[in-house]
Structure 1
Amino acid sequence: MIVQQLINGLTIGSIYAMVALGYTLAYGILGLINFAHGDVYMVGAFIAYFCVSVLKLNIVVSFFISLAVSGMLGAFIEFTAFRSIRNGSRSSQLISAIGVSIILQNTVMLTMGSDTKPFPEVMKAAAYEFSNVTVSSTQILIMAVALTFMALLYFLIYKTRIGIAMRSTAQDPAMTSLMGIDVNKVISITFSIGAVLGAAAGILVGIYYNSLVFNMGSSMGLKAFVAAVLGGIGNIPGTMLGGIVLGLAESLGAILISAKYKDAFAFVILILVLLFKPTGLFGKKEIDKV
């Protein structure tokens, strides 16, 4: 039973990690908590749903269309909602993010309806048993896609020129601009990458649970934020691990304590982290020099 729950925890933890990376990218480069990110995850899932169920497109084609549209949406949100207040107060940035979240939720609700949508069956799920442990093909797909995206992101951030520009912008945007790098472009790309990761996670959740609803981003966004804080928000490897740890904690807590409190575990973990290690598992204390 415990091994089975570990598999389930790794599956949902992979999803948390992908969504949490969007938070950590925005925070790492701007110091911004983008609370609209959970709704970008939701929009990405609905775009794929529309492509498959209405346009009758292949799931692979729908997947990449959703990623492309979501990437553009992420850049658009940064340009319209955050760029002009980038140097403003944290409260104005927070209010702007909440406003974008409300707009996205209501737009999807008005266009797609408020009822739960069954995600089309795009693949025949097969089950593989190993010593009384069952692993579905959908779970393998989710973990494989999540691992691939996280590996690509790590390579992008630490092994490419745009990754160097992103890390430079995160450290000192003014100096980066003086070095001839278009900081606005770098920040837009960062938001696009975060949106692509969120959209991919949303599609995988739709395939896994076979259902979508317009407010699904709220709960996922909060849990992914907890995962980012747990790993050390702004730290990419830490955020990946934080998502996995949160997924495992939820799955194990469901059998050791009660499944009724599964959604509460994330917030208990958040409180404990803030009390005993506010910087997260891999976060570092920042020292401001005067």
Structure 2
Amino acid sequence: MSFLIYLINGLSLGSIYAIIALGYTMVYGIAKMLNFAHGDFIMVGCYVIFTICSTLNGNTVVGLIAAVILCTLLGITTEKVAYKPLRGAASPLAVLITAIGVSYFLENLALLIFGADIKSFSSVVSWQGLSFAGGDLKIQGVTIITILSSVVILIVLQLFIHKTREGQAMLAVAEDKGAAMLMGINVNKTISLTFAIGSALAAIAGALLCSAYPSLSPYLGAMPGIKAFVAAVFGGIGSIPGAMIGGLVLGIVEILSRTYISSQLSDAIVFGILIVVLLVKPTGLLGKKIQEKV
């Protein structure tokens, strides 16, 4: 019974990683850049919810909606101000270094505004959950909502990408920006939409993360952001189903290794598995090998 509880907790944590990884993999798949500030959008969304609920005495649902809106605007603004001018840069390192700079900027801004003290976060999920086997197996409401949310987000994203005009434009831009532009697709608008969706997902993931682990600090998004990036690479960066699978596997491995092996070695085990997978299949589980014309 205890193993089943740990497995469910792993699925819950993995679902959070998966939602964050979806933002990473969409931005990379379409804009061909790694937004390492993505993890800090999680932190920004959580502080928005915290401020509305604790300072303004607002509802958690209102806080979540506000966080999604603000993070969406933040993602669009960051892309236009920090990344768009460097899109044609000779070296991709310019964009990567800028992303790291944006990450540090957001962390230090939060540090100045809210301080370094760890804040207690109020869960956005009030449902207590379900009990099974005479109360021996109790699944928290936030755990169930987190897993269901990841599944719903995956399905909605897949339908959006393959069934809508904007989604088809994203696929075209991901395939060839120049050809997409010649076909009349607004590449800038498509990339901005991608950042908007990814940033909104970061806000949702942050709310679920802080609801499950109710502590908030300016550095909240750093490690989950890195692990979600690992999940995206593990599943095959650029692949939406791959990001989902990578996140779930990562969460399960982390919880089980933390429980049965060592809490101090759990992160090392996670990254070690990534190395082994990439040695066997460098493109990740569902990644495709791309041949570039020279």
TM-score (norm 2): 0.95
Sequence identity (%): 45
SS of structure 2 residue aligned to 1:129: strand
Instruction: Show the counterpart of 2:128.
Output: 126
Please report how far the alpha carbon of residue 51 of structure 1 lies from its aligned counterpart in structure 2 after TM superposition. Answer: 1.2
Distance verdict in 2 for CA 1:284–1:121, change over 3 Å = closer
1:103 to 102, 105, 123: 105
What is the aligned partner in structure 1 of residue 6 from structure 2? 5
Distance 1:3 1:264 in 2: 23
Matched residues in 1 for 2:111 and 2:18: separation? 26
Q: Could you tell me how far apart the structure 2 residues matched to 1:155 and 1:127 are?
A: 29
Instruction: Give CA deviations for 1:191-245 in whole Å, capped at 9, x if unaligned.
Output: 0100000110001111111111110111011100110001000001111111001
Determine which of 248, 267, 270 is the counterpart of 2:274. Answer: 270
Moved over 3 A (4+): 121-125
Which residue number in structure 1 is paired with residue 226 of structure 2?
222
1:33-182 to 2 correspondence within 5 Å? Answer: 33-88=34-89, 89-124=91-126, 126-131=128-133, 132-182=136-186
Q: What CA distance in whole angstroms lies between the structure 1 residues aligned with 2:144 and 2:218?
A: 26
Q: Residues of 1 paired with 2:220 and 2:157: CA distance? A: 25
Counterpart of 1:106, as a letter, is N
Gaps of 5+ in 2: none
CA RMSD, Structure 1 to Structure 2 (Å): 1.4
CA displacement at 1:11 relative to structure 2: 0.3
Residues 1:208 and 1:87: Cα distance change in structure 2 (over 3 Å): same
Q: Point out the more displaced range, 169-178 or 7-16.
A: 169-178
Superposed displacement of residue 53, structure 1? 1.0
Inter-partner Cα distance in structure 1 for 2:125 and 2:95: 41
Quote the offset at 1:54 in angstroms. Answer: 1.2
Between 1:92-101 and 1:259-268, the stretch displaced more is: 259-268
Deviations 1:149-202 (A, max 9, x none): 222212111111110001101111111111111110100010010000011000
Correspondence for 1:251: 255
Name the SS of the counterpart of 2:265 in structure 1. Answer: helix
Q: Give, as a single letter, the amino acid of the residue that structure 2 aligns with 1:100.
A: V
Cα pair 2:124 2:208 within 8 Å, conserved: no
**Runs (5+) with no aligned partner, structure 1:** none
Count of aligned pairs: 290
TM-score normalised per structure 1: 0.96
Q: Confirm or deny that 1:282 pairs with 2:286.
A: yes
Which of 187-196 and 246-255 deviates more?
246-255
Instruction: Give distance in 1, aligned partners of 2:47 and 2:100.
Output: 20
Deviation at 1:267, TM superposition (A): 1.5
| Displacement after TM superposition at 1:3 (Å) | 1.0
Q: 1:182 to 1:127 in 2, by over 3 A?
A: closer
Shift in Å, 1:127: 4.7
Counterpart mapping for 1:231-246 below 5 A: 231-246=235-250
